[in-house]
Amino acid sequence: MREATPRLVVEGLSKRFGGLVAVKSLDFSLYGGEILGLIGPNGSGKSTAMQMVMGVVKPTAGRILLDGVDLAGRPTHRIARAGIGLVFQHARPLRLQTVLQNILLGLLPDSLTHLRPPPGALDRAREIAALCGLDKVLDRTPASLPFADLRRMEMAKVMARDPRVVLVDEPFAGLARDEVEDFANLIKAFRDQGRAVMLVDHNVKSIAALADRVSALYLGEKIAEGTPDHVMRDETVRRVYIGGTIETHERPEAEINAHQILLDVAGLSVFYGKAQALDDVSIRVHQGEFVSVVGLNGAGKTSLFNAMSGLIPYQGTISWDGEMRRKHDPAAIARAGLVQCAETRELLGTMSVADNLDLAAQRLAPAEQKSRQDWLFGLFPILQSRREQQARTLSGGEQQMLAIARALMMKPRLLILDEPTLGLAPVILAQLSDALRVLRETTDITLLLGEQNITFALPHADRVYLIEHGRLVWQGTPARFADEAGKNYL
């Protein structure tokens, strides 16, 4: 049962990184016996807020009150000693020690002069391990554990400190569907023990199903707070995740299917260490087709694109232009015509706009290079006026235009755009939308667009794939998506 007074109170919490405001005047309260979910798209300030509470990042301003005591700006170890624990997304175990020894470490006294476990510590460590489902792997080292057990061990290590407040970073990242339920039950156990729990995750649906309250952030500010159902239905939240009105302009399916299959991905699975990012994903893209891969942040879109571009290893098959790809050579893949514009843009910041474009045009004859650059300046006129300006001094929208232009400079047959709208103002979105419309109507380029913002993704798509938890859960036309899947997107 939730306590009557808040255990953790955050007031006016702010963080600046140079000129960037990552968190702005954030307020929230966290009660013992409840789970608070902190949601928001990439760049919304979720992780920064959590790191400030834990002392990993020092606040620029604001207070963090634990049972009335202000902990803002204190070192991490003092905050941990005061009663706040953080379950990291990435496991940080003592790799030469067993699971039992890792848990036991949290039960040792906070003193260099008392290094022996207190009476009953071994029994308590075994009890915690059993609660976290680790009782059968106590004598194993972390390297021998599956990914889910590594996450359970992180939970057990925090539990050993007996914290009053538990922060959990990306609790469901890399977990299979059946493992998500098990992990959710562990988090519920923290709440049922009377602890105050805060979750930060990209997985909006899982957070909403687990949390008692939800706070939504966008660009460092809180935009909604309340019950999960209330926040999921909030128009501002839906606009941030989805955008505005859904429009569709797909071309006839028969027209698309008449063209050859340019890219055929079958049974693709991707692992990062022991964490699975993609599970048996299959998609097809025809020559000249515009395809949108939609899904919330963390769903697996970038992993899919990076596998296609040869940037990461994968299981499954990828066929390009009718031939099975057998090597992972990103340069050769790009030269063959599959070019990715990364979510992170990857511009050369100290080089000018013109130099960034010239670098991508090394394989073109001088006359063709000049013609191509003129065409791109027509597509993105602002870049022509900025051609001698360093890339790092451009605005976010201008940098995104340059990143797309640089990719187009390579004359791709298939262009992958990964989250091109991330963090951009509506006026820039309109300009990008116009540019995609021109590409669709005046060129034979094939486009694969990865987006969380479905109102941007659907008007430029002939077909849509929806990815959740690393799995393909829906595919069809944009019109069908709006009727069937779009209503339950969050």
Which among 280, 210, 316 has a CA at the least distance from the CA of 473? 280
CATH 3.40.50.300 residue window(s) in the chain: 8-241, 253-488
**DSSP assignment string, 277-316:** EEEEEEEEEETT-EEEEE--TTSSHHHHHHHHTTSS--EE
3-state secondary structure of 55: coil
Q: Which helix (H) or strand (E) holds 131?
A: helix 121-131
Predicted local distance difference test score (pLDDT) of residue 183? 85
243, pLDDT greater than 90: no
Q: What is the pLDDT of residues 339-366, one digit of tens each?
A: 999 888 888 888 999 999 988 888 888 8
In contact, 308 and 416? CB cutoff 8 Å:
yes
Q: pLDDT for 123-164, tens place per residue?
A: 898 999 998 889 889 899 888 888 888 888 988 998 888 899
Distance, first Cα to last Cα, the chain: 28
Alpha carbons within 13 A on the beta-carbon side of 243 = 24
Output 225 or 171, whichever has higher pLDDT. Answer: 225
pLDDT of residue 450: 93
CA nearest to 394, candidates 433, 441, 357, 449 = 357
Spatial separation of the C-alpha atoms in residues 322 and 38, rounded to whole Å: 45
Interatomic CA distance for residues 204 and 217, integer angstroms:
12
Which pLDDT does position 448 carry in this prediction? 95
CA dihedral (239, 482, 403, 438) positive or negative: negative
> Do 429 and 435 touch, CB atoms closer than 8 A?
no
Whole-number pLDDT of residue 113: 59
pLDDT (tens digit, 9 = 90+) per residue, 456-467?
Answer: 888 889 999 999
Kindly state the tokens that stand for 120: 């009953």
Q: What's the rounded Cα separation, in Å, for the pair 278 and 174?
A: 9
Least confident window among 42-56, 173-187, 255-269: 173-187
Instruction: Specify the amino acid at residue 38.
Output: L
Architecture of the domain defined by 8-241: 3-Layer(aba) Sandwich (3.40)
Q: What is the pLDDT of residue 485?
A: 66
Rounded (10°) angle between helices 147-160 and 121-131: 140
pLDDT at res. 489? 65
Beta bridge partner(s), residue 476: 464
| Residue 387 contacts residue 354 (beta carbons within 8 Å) | yes
- Kindly state the tokens that stand for 226: 């309340």
Local confidence band at 483 (pLDDT 50, 70, 90 cut-offs): confident
**What band does 111 get if pLDDT is binned at 50, 70 and 90?**
low
Question: Within a 10 A sphere around the Cβ of 20, how many other Cβ atoms?
Answer: 9
What would the pLDDT profile of 377-427 be if each residue is shown by its tens digit? 999 999 998 889 998 888 888 888 999 999 999 999 999 999 888 767 667
Count Cα atoms within 13 angstroms, Cβ side, for 407. 27
Q: If you average pLDDT over residues 427-441, what whole number do you get?
A: 87
CB contact at 8 A, 85 and 158:
yes
Nearest to 475 by CA among 485, 488, 489: 485
Of residues 121 and 490, more confidently modeled:
121
Q: What's the pLDDT score for residue 112?
A: 60
pLDDT band of 246, cuts 50, 70, 90: low
Q: Report the C-alpha gap between 340 and 309 in whole angstroms.
A: 7
Q: Which residue is listed with tokens 């990461």?
A: 312
Return the percentage of the chain with pLDDT > 70, whole number. Answer: 94
Taking all residues of the chain, what is their mean pLDDT, rounded to a whole number? Answer: 87
pLDDT confidence of residue 7? 93
Confidence band of 87 (pLDDT split at 50, 70, 90): confident
| Site of tokens 């966008």 | 218
Residue 242: pLDDT above 70?
no
- pLDDT band for position 63 (50/70/90)? very high
pLDDT, average across residues 41-52 = 84
Residue 455: pLDDT band (50, 70, 90) is confident
Asked if 450 contacts 300 with a C-beta cutoff of 8 angstroms, the reply is: no
According to the model, what pLDDT value does residue 346 have? Answer: 87
**C-alpha atoms less than 13 angstroms from C-alpha of 415 in its C-beta half-sphere:** 24
Indicate the fold that domain 253-488 takes in CATH: Rossmann fold (3.40.50)
Query: What per-residue string of b and e applies to 235-273 under the rule 16 or more CB within 10 Å gives b?
Result: eebbebbbbeebebebeeeeebeeeeebbbbeebbbbee
207 contacts 201 by C-beta, under 8 angstroms: yes
Residue 390 is classified by DSSP as B
